[in-house]
Structure 1
Amino acid sequence: MSYLDNIFFVIILSLGIGYFAINVKKLVRNIKLGRDVDRSDNPSARWKNMAMVALGQSKMVKRPVAAILHIFVYVGFIIINIEVLEIVLDGIFGTHRLFGFMGGFYDFLIGSFEILAFLVLFAVIVFLIRRNIIKLKRFIHSDLKGWPKSDANYILLSEVILMTFFLVMNAADYHLQLLGFRHYERAGAFPVSQFIEPVFNGMNPSAVMMIERAIWWLHIIGILIFLNYLYFSKHLHILLAFPNTYYADLKPKGQFDNLESVTNEVKLMMDPNADPFAAAPPADENTVPQKFGAQDVQDLNWVQLMNAYTCTECGRCTSSCPANITGKKLSPRKIMMDTRDRLEEVGKNIDANKGVFVPDNKTLLNDYITPEELWACTSCNACVEECPVNISPLSIIIDMRRYLVMEQSAAPMSLNAMMTNVENNGAPWQYSQQDRLNWKNEN
């Protein structure tokens, strides 16, 4: 490489990483729009959770076919980044196969990369077939049309292109090594690309070198484009799966959080020494009025917003949701996608108004998610159990239900009747309190 090539490479690399850093900053800003919640408890359990679920893919294996294919892609993505590191260093310093001095170990690395690249190609092609030819039900659901469907295919096709570039680049490099052409000294083992290498037989070595260099540039530029595309795609989980599993709720799945304000009111009512007629303490001017539940994304906590960005759109939650299976409108995947889309809309509003959110007469509730969807949920936690990265659509559903009930008194008639009966009769059914214990005399 000439010095001009090195300078151009550094400029391209700086632009790619710089734009990525801007998107990461925006991502962190958007997540921090949520309410604060403390997830610093029990760090040992959290590290274990992250190691098992994010690193160990423990929840993926419930569906073994998809799990094996995903492991090919996952391990390939992690390991092949070592090759990317060499490419970056070669581009900066004008070297060629900088790590080649490692000898036999380098041969093992390059051989492993090639095998993984081939497995990634195989897995991605199977994924494309599952989505577009076999058309598995969870990939043709009504909430996965338009951009979400296209996004998944763009990602898969990008991986096909990048892996193909990698193998063809190595094949051309190997061909030049066999010829001993210029600086192409023997380095690396090529168990897959050796079968591509014969394509270059009979070609002018200078032409093969031009092909190798062109693909080298396309490969690294493609990686930088892919890196910056992550923010706009479902593949953001590549970056967020680890913090998302670390900060996941460790409480039993059936245990809901109590609202602190309501808990304090109940404690006050049960305190025999409390004065029920005492005036409430004066409100601080800077205190934001307490809102029960969630109407918009700012009312959710930051972990829930991170959940939305981490969603892989795999559809496991929706395919196991009993409400969705029986034809109800609810789709837990749509809940997460809608939350992310609304959060992105709020973020763009803030960007357009110099860091300040200007009310846009829209909310997550009603404009994105309807009460019909929320009340279809049975609170069974099937979606939470199925999610491979420990996302909880249920927590968002419960918070939005709380808003409907406690802020708008907009619960369904059957639920209002039940709550009225509990208040008046001490039981969900409409009968006299004196009859509550009659059931024990029925035998």
Structure 2
Amino acid sequence: MNYLPNIIFVVALILGLGYFAKNAKKLIRNIKLGHDIDVSDNKSQRWKNMAMIALGQSKMVKRPIAGFFHIIVYIGFIVINIEVLEIIIDGVFGTHRIFSSIGSLYGILIGIFEILAVLVFIAVIIFWIRRNILKLQRFWKPEMTAWPKNDANYILYFEMILMTLFLVMNATDIHFQNMNSGNVISQFIAPFFKNFSEGTLHFIERSAWWLHILGILVFLNYLYFSKHLHILLAFPNTFYGSLKPKGEFDNMQSVTNEVRLMIDPNIDPFAAQPESTEAPAKFGASDVQDLNWLQLLNAYTCTECGRCTSECPANQTGKKLSPRKIMMDTRDRLEEVGKNIDLNKGEFKNDGRQLLDDYITREELWACTSCNACVEACPVSINPLSIIMEMRRYLVMEQSAAPVELNNMMTNIENNGAPWPYNQMDRLNWKNE
């Protein structure tokens, strides 16, 4: 028996999975560069959110057309890849359709896979048309430069090719077609190959089989470099997503204590405070290492779908802010920091760059109205606003670099107890006018 194909298959499998594991380790390392955050509360609600949002696609269907076709691709791609288990067993042990021994159930499963393959192919074509012919506005924003735009198309081409290979593999498999069970779609493709010899059919079937499994391994490793990393990260991202009501901001306890001392002089300023209330070394965030790990996970999870930007009132009125760009910039800077660490043997060396100014401009940050529209729109529970607010906090508390209007308001609050430039004694004079 010739074991060479089995050896080649095992080597390809090990290399593919090994490279994926290496990149997964790097991904986890980069995310852990962020500060720690406690997300251990209310586990039942977190499991529910993950089941409804990531698994159930509940936020995707708020836009029915895109949501419907996304669910087809999502279910089809996941279910069809169940067959990968059979391919791996066949590849390692040199068997052929080892699960066919289970009888009619096998035919039912393959039949479902073939129907889903056609539906996925149709859905992917529709997505391609929406992006490249109809040119939906949210796919053509300024941040959607060559790579983000091409990346989305590469994924669509990948899926078309993988679905085609799956159906061709089935259509040219003489043994499978003779079973006449499960070939609900491939039986109509098989006639295109009727004039081919048995040897040629076997060659085409084996070629499609090899290209299909190698394509899946390539796709798996491409995920790390692609926006489609959300296929894997949507689950932890929705599980760890914030459970606080939208609009409730995080207060720094150390700052709260200072304000309380100013308001209530009876508080003992020398009273022992818990460690968690100590002032941090740095207020807010100017670079990715100043963010927490959940915000960095958000950046890697971003699908670049643009729903956040299309809902943003600042963006709609022509301002520079794009919540999608905030997440893309955060991820790009995090990747840059990760590569810096790799080059310097596990240690980050100051490169003279940071997230603020080099990636995200102050104009973008101050354009935000903090309305939470982007947070509500995101189909995988990403929170661009939290990053914006942390960077604003840095500008105000570390650099005193708030816009003039905001500085005037804060001065008025400090002096007059209100945002308006009127003495407290004159505040009700309008009643007498």
TM-score interval, smaller chain: over 0.9
The 5 A counterparts of 1:33-432 are 33-173=33-173, 175-178=174-177, 186=179, 188-269=181-262, 272=265, 274=267, 290-432=281-423
CA displacement, residues 255-312 of structure 1 (integer Å, 9 cap, x when unaligned): 0000122123234445655555x6999x9xxx99621111000000000000000000
Give the distance between the partners of 1:327 and 1:192, measured in 2 at CA. 49
Give the distance between the partners of 1:227 and 1:260, measured in 2 at CA. 43
8 Å CA contact 1:13, 1:224 repeated in 2 = yes
Aligned to 2:32: 32
Give the distance between the partners of 2:192 and 2:2, measured in 1 at CA. 28
Q: Report deviation, 1:407.
A: 0.3
Q: 1:228 to 1:188 in 2, by over 3 A?
A: farther
**2:424 partner letter:** Q
**1:231 partner letter:** Y
CA displacement, residues 131-190 of structure 1 (integer Å, 9 cap, x when unaligned): 1111000011111111000100111101111111011111001x4545x6xxxxx27411
Give the distance between the partners of 1:421 and 1:268, measured in 2 at CA. 20
Q: 1:68 to 1:222 in 2, by over 3 A?
A: same
CA displacement, residues 95-140 of structure 1 (integer Å, 9 cap, x when unaligned): 1111111211111100000011101100101111111111000011
**2:46 partner letter:** R
Deviates more, 1:266-275 or 1:25-34: 266-275
Give the distance between the partners of 1:383 and 1:31, measured in 2 at CA. 22
Q: Report deviation, 1:206.
A: 0.7
Over the matched positions of the two proteins, sequence identity in percent amounts to 70
8 Å CA contact 1:100, 1:187 repeated in 2 = no
Residue ranges of structure 2 left out of the alignment (5+ in a row): none
8 Å CA contact 1:374, 1:397 repeated in 2 = yes
Q: Report deviation, 1:436.
A: 2.3
8 Å CA contact 1:103, 1:187 repeated in 2 = no
DSSP-derived class of the 2:196 partner? coil
8 Å CA contact 1:97, 1:187 repeated in 2 = no
Give the distance between the partners of 2:64 and 2:260, measured in 1 at CA. 49
8 Å CA contact 2:254, 2:279 repeated in 1 = no
Residue ranges of structure 1 left out of the alignment (5+ in a row): 181-185
8 Å CA contact 2:170, 2:176 repeated in 1 = no
8 Å CA contact 1:110, 1:189 repeated in 2 = yes
CA displacement, residues 227-263 of structure 1 (integer Å, 9 cap, x when unaligned): 0000000000000000000000000001000012212
8 Å CA contact 1:245, 1:390 repeated in 2 = yes
Give the distance between the partners of 1:260 and 1:7, measured in 2 at CA. 60
Q: 1:290 to 1:187 in 2, by over 3 A?
A: farther
**1:120 partner letter:** V
8 Å CA contact 1:20, 1:227 repeated in 2 = yes
Deviates more, 1:1-10 or 1:290-299: 1-10
Deviates more, 1:391-400 or 1:100-109: 100-109
**1:213 partner letter:** R
The 5 A counterparts of 1:429-440 are 429-438=420-429
8 Å CA contact 2:255, 2:279 repeated in 1 = no
**1:428 partner letter:** P
Give the distance between the partners of 1:177 and 1:63, measured in 2 at CA. 40
**1:53 partner letter:** I
**1:302 partner letter:** W
Pairs aligned (count): 430
8 Å CA contact 2:9, 2:92 repeated in 1 = yes
Give the distance between the partners of 1:162 and 1:77, measured in 2 at CA. 10
Q: Report deviation, 1:8.
A: 1.1
Aligned to 1:183: none
DSSP-derived class of the 2:210 partner? helix
Give the distance between the partners of 2:109 and 2:365, measured in 1 at CA. 51
Give the distance between the partners of 2:2 and 2:358, measured in 1 at CA. 56
**1:290 partner letter:** A
Give the distance between the partners of 2:356 and 2:279, measured in 1 at CA. 20
